[in-house]
Structure 1
Amino acid sequence: MLEQRLLEKAIGDAGRLIAVEPFGEGSIARFAIDAGEHAGDWFVDSSRQPVARETGFVIRSREGVAVARIWRHPLDPRLPALRTALDPVRLGRIANAAGSGGPIEARVLAYRPGRRAVVRLTQHGVHLFVKVVRPGEAEDLAEIHRACRAAGVPAPEVVHWTPAGVVVVRDAEGTPGPVAASRTPAGELLDAVDELREHLLSVRTRRIARASAGSRIDWHLDRLAADLPARAADARALLPALVPHLRRVGQARVVHGDLHIGQLFLTGGRVSSVIDVDTAGLGDPADDTAAFIGHAIASAVTNEVAGRTADAALLQAIADEAADRWLRDAHAAALTALHLVGHGIRAADRSPEAASLLLDRAQRIAPARARR
């Protein structure tokens, strides 16, 4: 692929492709180099989106336009605060200034290049979570946390934020959703999720939620077709089946933007914490439906392929119950199928079998699955 050739030209090592995400006019591809002077994670950005300061190699056109950027983690040019969030010396200085001493462990829990990262800090057994975003976005992120809490949505409390692109939040309270799901009947779990979604509707914000999965349908289907060449025709056949139904029904409402079991913590049968409200804002409620069902099915498939049949059955039962409760129109069914395509792309490199099964599920749940 082009990105791999560009990386090899820049540093002399093509690396191993890990993931590709659409971004701007192109994408950001992630590669791993396991040994040698260039060991680490490398990124090739073909988005042509401007940055405030270059932090790696830049490949320009004859006209001087940056057509590709290449950098090594954590030197993301759009997330300049990421380097600070992972620097133990700087973290120690911050802690000492706040009157707290002792070693700090920093671990990256999530990273979407060019967009955001989540770093867990642990000191004296206490966790704080640093959300690293683009400079100028931190205040907005702190505000959506505050607005959620004011409306009864139990987002974690923000304890600090800086315009450089850092928001620090406290740990979530309660039992993690995947653990709670193993102890709670599916109907009761979904009752708690319904209550949370009702509270979300009352959040006062003009913020726009994360873009719908339907906004990049061509990229998703082309990518899965490339990852599963033996089933390229099946992937591309989803395009005419889904496109006519990818239109929001009704006005925009406040949604989580990436709702799934892993975002939830429960206490006493209710959601006591919901994390990653970074994606929340005005959007399409069907996207939350699709994200939840799609994630549950993808988790079931992952466990099925790994031979964990009991866990797979539990997660599939939750997905089926959610589909019976929420999947009531062709629009929501189409979005759910597209979320499964996205999960298939992420699974393809490590498990083509899982990716193929997810494509099967997407075909089954496409609009013919919906009740009109």
Structure 2
Amino acid sequence: MREQALLEKAIGRTGRLVAVEPFGHGSIARFTIDDGEWAGEWFVDTSRQPVAVETGFVVSTSDGVPVARIWKHPLDPRLPALRTAVDPERLARISAAAGSSGRIEARVLAYRPGRRAVVRITQHGVHLFVKVVRPAEAEDLVAIHEACRSVGVPAPEVVHWSPSGVVVVRDAIGTPGPVTAATMPADDVVDAVDALRERLLTVRTRRIARASVATRIDWHLARIGEALPDRAADVRALAPFVIANARRVGPPRVIHGDLHIGQLFFHGSAVSSVIDVDTAGLGDPADDCAAFVGHATASAVRNDVAGRAADAELLQDLADAAEERWLDSAHTRALTALHLLGHGIRAAERSPEAASLLLDRALEVTGLRPRR
């Protein structure tokens, strides 16, 4: 693998591949090194996208053009505030300057290298969530939270933000979606999500949602082919359907951009909070449908492979209810197949079985293989 060779060139260790995400003209690959002086998480960025300040190793052409950047977490060159957000001592000093004291715990909940991170900080039993983004995006992120809240979309309240790329929001209100899905009928969950999607359509914004999976068709097909070389024929069979049907149909509308059950909290039968509206804006409504079905299906597969049959059945019931409601066109099914491939690519390193099952689901959802 090219990224692994670049890491070895920089530090003399190859590491264990954890994940690869498309980025710019290339990708960002995440590796783990378990021991020795280089122990930690390392990232190899082949996007060729510029950065303000270099924070690691740079591999350049003979004429000085960067072709790869290699850095160790948390020194992400595009997220300069990340180093502070994950350092309890630095956070404690900031808190003390604001008149508060006491131990602060910091836990990274999500991290997409080069794009964003979410860190939960806890002090005196109170949770706040620090969203770390590229500095130029912080004010825009505050604006989309406020635009959502102004029309009744229950995004968390912003309590602080900084042009350095930090936005701090309050904890979500309600019962987490995965817990609710275990007790609420799947059709009722989908009803609640539909009500939220209707409310999102009223948000006033010119912001563009996170890029659709349809913008990286070739990347998804190539990566799943690399991850599952023995399934090359199935990937080739899937490609024409996805290529022909994945492009958006109709005008852009306001969407969440990364909609799945883990983003939702419930009070009774209604959504009481929706988190990570960082990805929201004008986009393809079918992407939200596809993301929801893809995530629920992938979660069901992971639980099934791990031997948690009851959890797998609940999540598959949710995926089936959403599929029956929303996947009524070749376009939405093509997008869902791409989301499933994305989950398969991420699963492949740890569980080739799960990756293969997700490719099976992609073939089934597009009608290229009968549903089992």
Contact 2:57–2:71 at 8 Å: present in 1 too? yes
Alignment of 1:202-217 (within 5 A): 202-217=202-217
Q: Which runs of 4+ in 1 moved over 4 A?
A: none
Contact 1:221–1:235 at 8 Å: present in 2 too? yes
Moved more, 305-314 or 171-180: 305-314
- 1:164-220 Cα distance to aligned partner (Å, 9 max, x none): 100000000100000000010111111111110011000000000001011101100
- 1:90 aligns with 90
Moved more, 42-51 or 228-237: 228-237
- 1:68 aligns with 68
- 1:184 aligns with 184
- 1:315 aligns with 315
Amino acid at match of 1:243: I
- 1:362 aligns with 362
- 2:6 aligns with 6
CA distance in 1, matches of 2:49, 2:332: 31
Gaps of 5+ in 1: none
SS at match of 1:111: strand
CA distance in 2, matches of 1:2, 1:259: 32
Q: CA deviation at 1:368?
A: 6.1
Cα distance change, pair 187–155 in 1 and its aligned pair in 2 (3 A)? same
Amino acid at match of 1:42: W
CA distance in 2, matches of 1:315, 1:128: 29
CA distance in 2, matches of 1:100, 1:270: 35
Amino acid at match of 1:144: I
CA distance in 2, matches of 1:234, 1:342: 16
- 1:20-68 Cα distance to aligned partner (Å, 9 max, x none): 1111111111110001111000111111110000001111101110111
- 2:221 aligns with 221
CA distance in 2, matches of 1:126, 1:64: 49
CA distance in 1, matches of 2:136, 2:316: 40
Amino acid at match of 2:239: L
Contact 2:91–2:104 at 8 Å: present in 1 too? yes
SS at match of 2:182: helix
Moved more, 204-213 or 244-253: 244-253
Alignment of 1:338-353 (within 5 A): 338-353=338-353
Amino acid at match of 1:262: G
Root-mean-square deviation (Å): 1.0
Q: Number of residue pairs matched? A: 369
Identity of aligned residues (%): 74
Amino acid at match of 1:72: K
Moved more, 65-74 or 9-18: 9-18
CA distance in 1, matches of 2:197, 2:82: 32
Q: CA deviation at 1:325?
A: 1.0
SS at match of 1:353: helix
Q: CA deviation at 1:89?
A: 2.0
CA distance in 2, matches of 1:82, 1:335: 32
Amino acid at match of 2:58: V
Q: CA deviation at 1:367?
A: 5.6
CA distance in 2, matches of 1:235, 1:127: 44
Amino acid at match of 1:4: Q
Amino acid at match of 2:218: D
Moved more, 2-11 or 275-284: 2-11
Relative to the length of structure 1, the TM-score reads 0.98
Alignment of 1:1-372 (within 5 A): 1-366=1-366
- 1:255-282 Cα distance to aligned partner (Å, 9 max, x none): 0000000000000110000000000000
Q: CA deviation at 1:226?
A: 0.4
Moved more, 4-13 or 156-165: 4-13
Contact 1:334–1:367 at 8 Å: present in 2 too? no
Q: CA deviation at 1:247?
A: 2.3
CA distance in 2, matches of 1:5, 1:174: 46
Gaps of 5+ in 2: none
CA distance in 1, matches of 2:45, 2:194: 39
Q: CA deviation at 1:86?
A: 1.3
Q: CA deviation at 1:233?
A: 2.1
